[in-house]
Structure formats: C-alpha cells, structure tokens
C-alpha cells in the first residue's frame, strides 16, 4: 500500500480533496505512471510541479496525463517580460488546455505578471502580489476584493486592445479599397500612394484563389516602394489564415484577419489581413506590424 493513501485513510481525509504533486525527480517513468494511476483510482488529483524546467517535460505530461500543471516560476517570470519565452509559455498553456489540465502560475509578484498569467488561461495563481507564505490558512474570501480590482483592470486593458483592433479593422477596409483600386487599374508602382496614414503596414501582395503568389511583396522602404520577388510563385494555401479566408471570405468577400504570429524572417509580431477581389479570382494580403496592439 502507498503510505500517503494509508495516511489519508487513517485520518479520514477524502482523497478527492487532495492533489499529489510530482516534483523534479528522475526515475522509471512507467513505475511513476503506475503510482499515479493508483492515486487517481483512489480519487486524488495529480499535479506536475515546475513544468518547463528539468525533468518536468512533455514526455512526463503525456505519460501521466496530470490534472494540474504548475508553471516553473523562473520560466514564468521571464516569459511575463515578453520575447520568445512568452510564446513558449503561451504554447505550453494552450497544450495544457487541450489536454484538460489546469494551469497554476507560481511567482506572481506584480500586476503585469498576473495579467500574463490570465493571458495564459491560468486557473490559479500564487505569489507575493497577494501575500507571503504564512503558517495559518487564510480565510477563503481573503483575496476576493483585491483580485476583483485587478481582474477589472485586466478586462479594461483587454477591451482597450480590442478597441484598437476594431479601429485598425476600419482602417484596413480603407486601405484594402485603395490597394484594390490600384491593382484593378494595373497601374505602375510609381502610381501607388505613399500611405503614411497606415504606419503599421509592412507589405502587401496578391495571390490567386488557390494560394499561389502572383505579385512580388511590395514594401515601403527608403521613402519609396520596393518590390521583393523572392516569393513569386510560392503557394501559401497551407497557412492557417489562408484556408480561414477560403472558408469565411470567399462567398461574402469580407475582410478576414489572422491571429498574431511571429514572422520568422523579420522576427516581428504580425497579423495578416486578406480579402478576395476581382470577382473572387485574386486575393489581396496585407501584413501588419502588431506591436502597436
């Protein structure tokens, strides 16, 4: 018998109130999986601690299928500052969500870190932003008012981001009309306006309805439009935003906007907007600098 389960039985503690936490230890993962199965059969839940560091890696998650993942504090705090580690932690959180895990963010010491934890979909947070560790338990409602204030500020921040995105959508509709008129007229490059009203514009190009690029990438550089021919003839139909366009934008010819992604060439955060025109035979795609959002 497992000593921990015997202890629960001896003190008449319901196993459903218990979470067994697996820390960074090596060993036989199959044996560990067998022990986890016994805990789960008894009704307890399983957490993996310090996920993202040391031994707590994906093979362990796949083998044990935990109920809870506790993000490694150092990884989480670094990710909250932005940059590549931020993308990694968000991807880990998405993976956890898809496998039915709850996320716990440890080391939440600032409001920005709390906002990042909420951005990752954390079900629970712990850290000095609320209180330092104490010997006695806190009252169950000790942090309700404080968290409600912080949550409201976070929601207002996200509403502001959505508002800026809606303004950009309106501007994108104006830009699409300008560029489509230029493309339909088959005007030369020097007839293209400078478009200073759209400072977030990175580049634009045209594809056929099957995703093959018909024109060079056109970018505003050195006070003039420049054509980059490297991607002529490339097919982008496999990209998520393209089949989203086919599914949502073909019949209505409406503007579709991708989710934010990091461009591998420029290392910038981008969005891609697309809209069919020319009786649905051509697709105009606009890459946008998402930093302002």
Q: Which domain holds residue 62?
A: 3-133
CATH number at residue 282: 3.30.450.20
Q: What integer pLDDT is reported at residue 136 of this predicted model?
A: 94
Q: For residue 181, is it within any domain?
A: no
Tokens linked to 12 = 């008449």
Within-domain flag for 144: no
Please tell me whether residues 71 and 192 are part of one structural domain.
no
* pLDDT number for residue 216: 95
pTM comes to 0.77
Domain-terminating residue out of 133, 156, 175:
133
Contacts 24+ apart (CB under 8 A), 237-241: 237/210, 237/211, 237/212, 238/211, 239/211, 241/272, 241/274
- Domain assignment present for residue 206? The answer is yes
Domain presence at residue 171 = no
Do 127 and 193 reside in the same domain of the chain?
no
User: How confident is the model at residue 84, as a pLDDT?
Assistant: 78
Residues 6+ apart with CB under 8 A from 259: 240, 241, 271
Is 100 a member of any domain? Answer: yes
Specify whether 128 is located in the same domain as 63. yes
pLDDT of residue 248: 67
Are both 124 and 245 inside the same structural domain?
A: no
Residue pair 150/117 in contact by the 8 Å Cβ criterion? no
Count other Cβ atoms within 10 Å, centred on residue 285: 22
Residues 18 and 107 in one domain: yes
Q: Is residue 220 part of a domain?
A: yes
The domain tally of the chain equals 2
282-289 and 124-126 beta bridge pairing:
unpaired
Cβ contact 48:70 at 8 Å: yes
Q: Are 107 and 77 in contact (CB under 8 A)?
A: yes
- Determine the pLDDT at residue 87: 83
Q: What is the pLDDT along the chain (293 residues), one digit of tens a residue?
A: 799 999 999 999 999 999 999 886 667 888 889 999 999 999 999 998 888 776 556 777 888 889 999 988 998 999 999 877 888 888 888 888 888 889 999 999 999 999 999 999 999 999 999 999 899 999 999 999 999 999 999 999 999 988 988 998 899 999 999 999 999 999 888 888 878 889 889 999 999 988 999 999 998 887 788 999 999 999 988 887 777 777 765 666 788 888 888 777 777 888 899 999 988 889 999 999 988 66
- In sequence order, the β-bridge partners of residue 62 are none
């Amino acid at each position: 018998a497992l000593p921990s389960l015997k202890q629960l039985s001896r003190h008449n503690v319901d196993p459903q109130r218990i979470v067994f936490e697996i820390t960074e230890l090596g060993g036989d993962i199959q044996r560990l999986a067998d022990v986890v199965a016994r805990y789960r059969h008894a009704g307890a839940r399983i957490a993996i601690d310090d996920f993202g560091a040391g031994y707590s890696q994906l093979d362990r998650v796949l083998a044990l299928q935990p109920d809870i993942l506790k993000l490694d504090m150092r990884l989480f705090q670094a990710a909250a500052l932005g940059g590549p580690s931020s993308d990694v932690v968000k991807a880990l959180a998405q993976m956890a969500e898809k496998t039915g895990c709850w996320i716990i963010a440890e080391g939440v010491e600032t409001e920005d870190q709390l906002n990042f934890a909420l951005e990752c979909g954390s079900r629970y947070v712990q850290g000095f932003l609320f209180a330092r560790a104490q010997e006695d338990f806190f009252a169950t409602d000790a942090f309700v008012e404080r968290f409600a204030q912080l949550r409201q500020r976070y929601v207002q921040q996200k509403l502001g981001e959505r508002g800026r995105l809606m303004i950009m959508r309106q501007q994108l509709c104006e830009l699409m009309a300008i560029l489509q008129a230029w493309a339909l007229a088959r005007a030369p490059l020097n007839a293209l306006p400078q478009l200073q009203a759209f400072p977030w514009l990175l580049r634009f190009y045209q594809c056929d309805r099957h995703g093959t690029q018909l024109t060079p990438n056109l970018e505003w550089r050195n006070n003039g439009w420049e054509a980059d021919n490297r991607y002529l003839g490339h097919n982008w139909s496999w990209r998520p935003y393209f089949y989203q366009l086919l599914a949502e934008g073909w019949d209505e010819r409406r503007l579709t906007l991708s989710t934010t992604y990091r461009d591998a060439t420029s290392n910038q955060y981008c969005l891609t907007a697309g809209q069919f025109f020319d009786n649905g035979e051509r697709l105009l795609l606009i890459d946008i600098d998402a930093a302002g959002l």
